[in-house]
Amino acid sequence: MSDLSKITCIEDLRQVAQRRVPRMFYDYADTGSWTACTYRANEADFAPIQFRQRVAINMEGRSLATTMVGEPVSMPVAIAPTGLTGMQHADGEILAARAAREAGVPFTLSTMSICSIEDVAQHAGPGFWFQLYVMRDKAFVESLIDRAKAAGCGALVLTLDLQMLGQRHKDIKNGLSTPPKPTLTNLINLATKPRWCLGMLGTRRRQFGNIVGHVKNVDDMSSLGAWTAQQFDPRLSWDDVAWIKQRWGGKLILKGIMEPVDARLAVNSGADALIVSNHGGRQLDGAPSTIRVLPSIVDAVGRDIEVHIDSGIRSGQDVLKAWALGARGTYIGRSFLYGLGAFGQAGVAKALKIIRNELDISMAFCGHTQLQNVTKDILVPGTYPLPFLD
């Protein structure tokens, strides 16, 4: 299906992206670690949650508007930080940021992006956020924070669950690299992706823009690979969170919370929000889905911190279910990447439009016109997860 007007759901976008994006980069986005059990559960565990339909209620004047960490958003959806976005489509981070700006939702740039903070800042809207990985090179971390400040980023999203890489079998088998190594297998695959190749020929952005040229002795892909392999810091602690919060000085969102005890520590850190996240099932395989643990996190923190969620969101109905269970923000990663890989900026805009439409219509069928008034009362008891019992 290559006609954008015939695309009706995120799955349609995924199928087009699978045809158009080189295998190693499509697999990088569309896979989990080890057996991919958690990756599959993230999406599957939304399905059993059922809505309660209401009738004969005035459905005019609907609004999905809300705020995320105090910033106005057109709906409680943000584009998640995803590494190598600019390898799904040439200049991918820039295109996605433009689409997010037009849709009135935040765009979060990954540390491991292809386009740099400075490049994206020229195209992003007011909801431009930056996601930070903690590296051993603290001077580099400080420079990233300072660059994000200078670029006008409204929030810093600190990822806590990547002190080391989960084993992603497809990436190992595909020999993932940026840009792709010119092996026979890769060249044969690239020959079937002419649209992608032409796009890459037309851009200068083919390396990790936030790193290359900003780290001493890292000026090409070989030196970058050696540096990156040594840099993720397994010593990351809550002391680092305090240091980063002080250095940043702005709104701080902590990503990777899956346990109530860590949620309480996030509250104690003074962060503005936390993201219930298992890294899209790309780190600890065998962990529960995020929607499964969301009620436990909400129960643990009450209103002491804003709770967001990512991983597995493929529709506006998923957004509505998460909102009903207490999330005040959701993030889409693969859903926007499928659109980007399939149709570029227009594909990201289509993904956001699909999610908005599904969220809007489903909310109305549940008897509400204002998202702010929606609670778990719209869900059928017994179909949604409850807080864990310790």
Please tell me which residue, 225 or 176, carries the higher pLDDT value. Answer: 176
The predicted model gives 239-253 an average pLDDT of 97
For the chain, percent of residues with pLDDT exceeding 90: 84
Say if residue 133 carries a ligand binding annotation: yes
Predicted local confidence at residue 1, as pLDDT: 62
pLDDT over 60 (residue 281): yes
Phi/psi at 252 (5° precision): -125, 130
Say if residue 277 carries a ligand binding annotation: yes
The predicted model gives 253-274 an average pLDDT of 98
Say if residue 281 carries a ligand binding annotation: no
Say if residue 292 carries a ligand binding annotation: no
Task: Enumerate domains of the chain plus CATH numbers.
Answer: 4-378 (3.20.20.70)
Predicted local confidence at residue 212, as pLDDT: 83
Q: What is the mean pLDDT of the chain?
A: 94
Predicted local confidence at residue 95, as pLDDT: 98
The predicted model gives 206-234 an average pLDDT of 75
- Residue showing tokens 């995803």: 82
Say if residue 28 carries a ligand binding annotation: yes
Say if residue 255 carries a ligand binding annotation: yes
CA distance to 11, 91, 351, per residue, from 362 (Å): 18, 34, 17
- Confirm if 74 and 320 have CB atoms less than 8 A apart: no
Say if residue 173 carries a ligand binding annotation: no
Predicted local confidence at residue 220, as pLDDT: 56
Say if residue 384 carries a ligand binding annotation: no
Predicted local confidence at residue 21, as pLDDT: 97
3-state helix, strand, coil in the chain (%, to 5): 45, 10, 45
Say if residue 333 carries a ligand binding annotation: yes
Distance CA 176, CA 29 (A): 11
For the chain, percent of residues with pLDDT exceeding 70: 96
Helix axes 316-324, 290-301, angle to 10 degrees: 30
Q: pLDDT band for 233, please (50, 70, 90 cuts).
A: confident
CB atoms within 10 A of CB 279: 25
Predicted local confidence at residue 55, as pLDDT: 97
Give tens-digit pLDDT for 344-390.
999 999 999 999 999 999 999 999 999 999 999 999 999 999 999 76
This prediction's pTM: 0.95
Predicted local confidence at residue 171, as pLDDT: 85
Pick the closest to residue 326 from 358, 287, 365, 299 (CA basis): 299
pLDDT over 60 (residue 338): yes
Please tell me which residue, 175 or 293, carries the higher pLDDT value. Answer: 293
Predicted local confidence at residue 255, as pLDDT: 98
Say if residue 81 carries a ligand binding annotation: yes
Please tell me which residue, 167 or 21, carries the higher pLDDT value. Answer: 21
CB atoms within 10 A of CB 164: 11
Catalytic one among 89, 123, 279, 308? 279
Please tell me which residue, 390 or 284, carries the higher pLDDT value. Answer: 284
- State CA 187 to chain mean position distance: 30
Distance CA 90, CA 25 (A): 12
Say if residue 110 carries a ligand binding annotation: yes
Predicted local confidence at residue 175, as pLDDT: 84
Find the angle CA(324)-CA(328)-CA(332) to the nearest 5 degrees: 95
Phi/psi at 63 (5° precision): -145, 135
Preceding peptide of 295 cis, ω within 30° = no
Predicted local confidence at residue 155, as pLDDT: 98
Say if residue 199 carries a ligand binding annotation: no
Give tens-digit pLDDT for 147-189.
999 999 999 999 999 888 888 888 888 888 767 788 889 899 9
Query: Catalytic annotation on 123?
Result: no
Predicted local confidence at residue 223, as pLDDT: 61
Do β-strands 77-79 and 330-332 pair in parallel, antiparallel, or remain unpaired?
A: parallel
Q: pLDDT band for 77, please (50, 70, 90 cuts).
A: very high
Give tens-digit pLDDT for 105-131.
999 999 999 999 999 999 999 999 999
